[in-house]
Structure formats: structure tokens, C-alpha cells
Amino acid sequence: MKRYQTKAIVLRRTNYAEYDRIITLLTPSHGKVSAMAKGVRKPKSRLAGGIELLSVCNLSLVGGKGNLETLVSSRMVKHYHGILSDYPRLEFAYEALRLVDKLTEQKIGSEYFRLLEGLFESLGSGFDLSVCRSWFLIWLLKVYGCLPNLDDDENGDSLKSEKLYQLNSSRGVFIESTTGHFDQNSIKAWRLALRFDPEDLVKITGVQEAMLEVEPRLLEFVQSQLN
């Protein structure tokens, strides 16, 4: 059995037997991994402190014959305490873990690890919550491969600054509509989110307001693509 070390983010923990846990991990180089953490629920377990949620950890694992590996050692690299003190941030951090856990059943890549790590950094640093959420959701769509066309409308014409648009969930395109929820500023904010991280986005005039306005529709679109 091969032993290896990796950075990891814990996506999910499930109690098993009396003292064990099965942990679902996201790693930058090994994709998504399930591992048995034996005895981790005992009061003096040396493994427990290194597999906290909302953390980046260094883990040592031993591969097994099946899909379940064994956790040998764990060390905390960084725990994002700033998220814990704000319930809306904590709530979204857990939602992000659930979304990534769901998506990576079949699509596995290091980009998901970097995206979650970036979200934790942004949430923990206290940047505007709407910007953090929207930035994550837009990048999640890109990584998953279902980002809508941000340049052209349903007819292949360039999106125009004086027009309003609805977002067609099934086709992933913007459709011109007098009752649309998306204007030049909101679509521009999506494009900017693909170029800058939240720390820089909050410094751009009008981005926070645009993100706050379109965030509910963005979340609806994400949910329609992932269900």
C-alpha cells in the first residue's frame, strides 16, 4: 500500500462505528479522496485537530485496495477563524462545501481546491459578502463548464449597454427583455469577477452594488445547472 502526503480541504465528515470517521477530502493533486480516520473521535486523538472543517490541512494517507484510504497523520495548515464569527459567512461556507462535494462526484480537478481555498481566504478576511458569494458562484460555473455567454445574446449579437436581458437557464444565454434583471453593469461585474479576486473586486466602483442586485438570479442559475 502506497503512503503519500497532500494538502486537503475536508468536504464532509461521517461518524463510523464507535470512535472512527469517514472523511471526504478535496486535494490539489489527487482529486477527491475518501479516507478512514480511525479513533479520531477519542478524546486524545492526534488526528482530530488536523481535519477540522473550514481549514486547509497537510495529511498523510495510505492507499487501500478499494476506494477508502486510511488517514495516518494530520496537521492543520490554516484554520479560517474569521468565518466562524459571522453566521451568514459560515452558512455560505458550508453551502460551498456541499456544492463542491456534489460537483466533484464525477468532475475532479485541482481548480476546485483552489476555488474553495480562495473563498475561505476571502470570507475570513471580511470582504463584502455579496462579492465573495458572487465571485465563488461565477467561478464555480466556469470550472464546471456551464458559464453563460457573457459577450453575445441568443442571436449571436454583442450585448448592448442600453438593453436589459433575462438569463435563459436551459441555454445559458442572455435574451433581450424589457423586464430583464441584467444590465450592462451587472454583466460587466460577472466579467470582472473572472479577472479579479474579491480583494480587488471590492475596490472597483459599482461592483458591490451590481453583485448584490444580481446575486439571487445568479444563485438560481447555479442551482438550475447543478440539479
Specify whether the CB–CB gap between 166 and 177 falls below 8 A.
Answer: yes
Specify whether the CB–CB gap between 54 and 93 falls below 8 A.
Answer: yes
pLDDT reading at 74 higher than 70? yes
Domains of the chain by range and CATH? 1-126 (2.40.50.140), 133-227 (no CATH)
Average pLDDT over the chain, rounded to an integer? 91
Model-level pTM? 0.92
Mean pLDDT of 1-21: 92
pLDDT reading at 93 higher than 90? yes
Tell me which residue of 129, 133, 125 sits closest to 193, measured CA to CA.
133
Mean pLDDT of 180-204: 92
pLDDT band at 1 (very low <50, low <70, confident <90, very high): low
Mean pLDDT of 62-90: 91
Tell me which residue of 140, 134, 90 sits closest to 116, measured CA to CA.
140
Bridge-based pairing state of the strands 68-79 and 55-62: antiparallel
Query: Where do the DSSP E strands lie in the chain?
Result: 3-16, 20-27, 31-37, 55-62, 68-79, 165-168, 173-176
Tell me if residue 181 falls in helix, strand or coil.
Answer: coil
Per-residue pLDDT, 106: 58
9 phi and psi angles, rounded to 5 deg = -120, 130
